[in-house]
Amino acid sequence: MPALQRLRADHAPAVLAFEEANRAFFAASVPDRGDAYFTDFPARHAALLAEQETGVCHFHVLVAEDTGEVLGRFNLLDVSDGAAELGFRLAEKATGRGLATATVHHLFGLCRTTYALTTLRARASLANAASRTVLRHTGFVATGEEVLLNGERGLEFVRELGAGHREA
């Protein structure tokens, strides 16, 4: 089973390889990051680590135990007043096995015990059926509010993490 790890400096080569290998796959359902993302990756990775140190965001990678390959990214963004926004992406070759759903469920425990979060928000484009499915399978509820994600129509979701919620 892959391991969810907090983002570290030594993850940079594997994260870049993950993003490059899956660029076309991701672009089919979310806006492309653009060439500058890849060109400036070392500085971007360092900036994420600095941001994580402030406690405003918590970045995680899903790492294959046998190879150290990054299979996914699971991020908690804009942490404030017990709430954060969840963002995630999974490598094409890792899809269809329930890894995203299992990892989001695992992340709920970290949200409660490590990050003191009680509410998660998420957004998914209408073109990204897989992410919307993961959100529904993990107890997120659509708020009914439509959002724009880099010019793409999407939906907003919310998930309460109170003590009364049990994980599957």
Residue 164 confidence (pLDDT) above 60: no
Which pLDDT value is given to residue 32?
82
Sign of CA dihedral 25, 27, 28, 29: positive
> In the chain, how many domains are there?
1
Can you tell me the distance from the alpha carbon of 80 to that of 57, in angstroms, rounded to the nearest whole number? 9
Domain holding 18, by residue range, is 3-160
Residue 108 lies in a domain: yes
Q: Which amino acid is at 114?
A: T
What is the C-alpha separation between 14 and 4, in angstroms, rounded?
14
Residue 10 per-residue DSSP state = G
Computed over every residue of the chain, the mean pLDDT equals 93
166 in any annotated domain = no
Tens digit of pLDDT for each residue in 31-72? 788 899 999 999 999 999 999 999 999 999 999 999 999 999
Assess if residue 67 is contained within a domain: yes
The CATH number given to whatever domain includes residue 45 is: 3.40.630.30
Task: Please report whether residue 27 resides in a domain.
Answer: yes
Q: Tell me the pLDDT tens digit for each residue of 83-120.
A: 999 999 999 999 999 999 999 999 999 999 999 999 99
Whether the pLDDT of residue 5 is over 60: the answer is yes
pTM higher than the cut 0.75: yes
With respect to residue 165, please indicate whether it lies within any of the assigned structural domains. Answer: no
Structural domain includes residue 109? yes
Residue 100: which H helix or E strand, with range?
helix 99-113
Residue 76 lies in a domain: yes
CA distances from 91 to 3, 57, 69, 88 (A): 14, 22, 10, 10
DSSP H helix total and E strand total for the chain: 6, 7
User: Does residue 147 belong to any structural domain of this protein?
Assistant: yes
